[in-house]
Structure 1
Amino acid sequence: MTRAEKTAVTFRIVINRPVTGVLYSLQSKDGQPLDPKSSRKGEPLTFEFPVRVAPGPKFSGDQVRREGPERRFVYIRIGQLAGDQSSPWSRRMKIDIHDIGDAMLVRAVNAGNAVELMVSGTGEDGTPACATVQSARCVGA
């Protein structure tokens, strides 16, 4: 598949209910924190990044990670992994994107919108969510 067959789509991850004062970031292609930010009063945190999408759909890009032939995901780094060495947490959230359907991607591309993934930043125990988290998906402006 050539690069010309791929379409650039903006992905937006919204972290609802982040733990106040804890640093969250995207994971860069070299495994380092990218665009770290924290919430002062529990307000949502937003990360935007480009993803190349090919028929299938198949996803690639600097923030896209792979596991096996099909699974594609994005990491959100938390606490120490996001660059705050004084944090008691050193975690990552894994947000799957491989199961996003063609219809949603087509709507996003045709309308010039982003594919928005909303996740909860706080686990049931009140600490930062980590491991694979479930996301609610929608196409937003």
Structure 2
Amino acid sequence: MAKTDQKVINFRIVIDQPVVGVPYSLQARDESPLDAKSSRAGEPLLFDFQVRTGPGPTLLGDQVRREGPVRRFVYIRIGQLAGDPASPWARRMKIDIHDIGTDLLDDAATSGGVIETTVIGTAKDGTPSCATVRPTGRRIAGP
């Protein structure tokens, strides 16, 4: 796909209710952690990145992973995988982005807004959420 057919859209993952003191980070293309952050008092953690979109829509970018012909997602690394070798956890969250509607993608591209996806960072047992984590909200936030 030619770069002229692509639009750059700003994305933000919000980890609401993260486990206090545990590092979370985006996963880079080479699978290393990026921009590890920890919550001091349960405040949300924010991770910003860009995605290129094209017809289809096709979603591309350094943080975008693929599974099969359609599924696209972003990994959030947790604990040891986020760079803390002393953490008791070595987990990843998988957050789907292939299910974002074209209306929302187009609105974000046109307005310059950020597609903000919120997920819960703590599982029911009090440990960090992991595996596929369903968004609790998705909206366009201001630029």
Give TM-score, length-normalised by structure 1. Answer: 0.98
Q: Which residue of 2 aligns with 1:74?
A: 74
Distance in 2, matches of 1:35 and 1:137, equals 22
Q: Which residue of 2 aligns with 1:121?
A: 121
Distance in 1, matches of 2:108 and 2:60, equals 17
Distance in 2, matches of 1:15 and 1:80, equals 17
Gaps of 5+ in 1: none
Aligned residue for 1:95, secondary structure, equals: strand
Report how many residues are paired.
141
Instruction: Give yes or no for the alignment of 1:16 onto 2:16.
Output: yes
Q: Is the 8 A contact 1:57 1:101 kept in 2?
A: no
The AA in structure 2 aligned to 1:138 is: R
Distance in 1, matches of 2:69 and 2:110, equals 28
The AA in structure 2 aligned to 1:77 is: R
Q: Which residue of 2 aligns with 1:137?
A: 138
**Percent of residue pairs identical:** 61
Distance in 1, matches of 2:34 and 2:52, equals 19
Cα offset for 1:41? 0.2
Distance in 1, matches of 2:55 and 2:139, equals 20
Cα offset for 1:13? 0.3
The runs of at least 4 consecutive aligned structure 1 residues that moved more than 6 Å come to none
Give TM-score, length-normalised by structure 2. Answer: 0.97
Q: Which residue of 2 aligns with 1:55?
A: 55
Gaps of 5+ in 2: none
Cα offset for 1:23? 0.3
